[in-house]
Amino acid sequence: MTDELPHPEIFAQHVRVGLRGGCWLWTGSLSDDGYGCTGARYTGTTLRANRVAYELYVGPIPPGKQVLHSCDNRKCVSPEHLFLGTLQDNMDDMWAKGRARPRGKSNPKRIYRRKKLS
C-alpha cells in the first residue's frame, strides 16, 4: 500500500493535534462505523486513516495485521496510540475494555439468570 499512501502533508491537513489524552483527531471524512477515511494517492480507493497514519509514521503493516487503537478513539490517528494486532487481538481488546456487547448464549448475564432459575 506504500505507493498509494497520501502525501504526508496532505494527510496532516486533516489531523488536529494537542487534544487531551494525546489523541490526534482525524477531521477528514469518516466511514459509516466512525473510522477516519482518506483516499489513496493515485487510485482514490478509500483507505482507513489509522492504517495510513501507521504506515506514514511508524512503518509497513504486515499482511493480515490490523491497526488497533490503545485509546479506543476511532477517529484517532496518533502513532503513539496505534498498535498492530490480529482480529483475535482486537476481539480480546474489545472484551477487556468492555466494548463488546454480548448476546445470546455467550452473554454471561443471561447464563447466570438461567442457572439461577433452574
Instruction: Return residues touching Zn ion (CB under 5 A).
Output: 23, 71, 73, 76, 78, 81
Nearer to Zn ion, 3 or 33 (CB): 33
* Smallest gap from residue 53 Cβ to Zn ion (A): 10
* Smallest gap from residue 20 Cβ to Zn ion (A): 10
| Residue type at 87 in one-letter notation | L
* Smallest gap from residue 2 Cβ to Zn ion (A): 23
Burial class (CB in 10 A: 0-12, 13-18, 19+), 12: middle
* Smallest gap from residue 75 Cβ to Zn ion (A): 8
Q: Three-state secondary structure along 15-50? A: EECCCHHHCCEECCCECCCCCEEEECCCCCCEEEHH
Nearer to Zn ion, 22 or 102 (CB): 22
- In contact, 2 and 39? CB cutoff 8 Å: no
The DSSP bridge partners found for residue 38 are 47
Nearer to Zn ion, 40 or 94 (CB): 94
Nearer to Zn ion, 40 or 71 (CB): 71
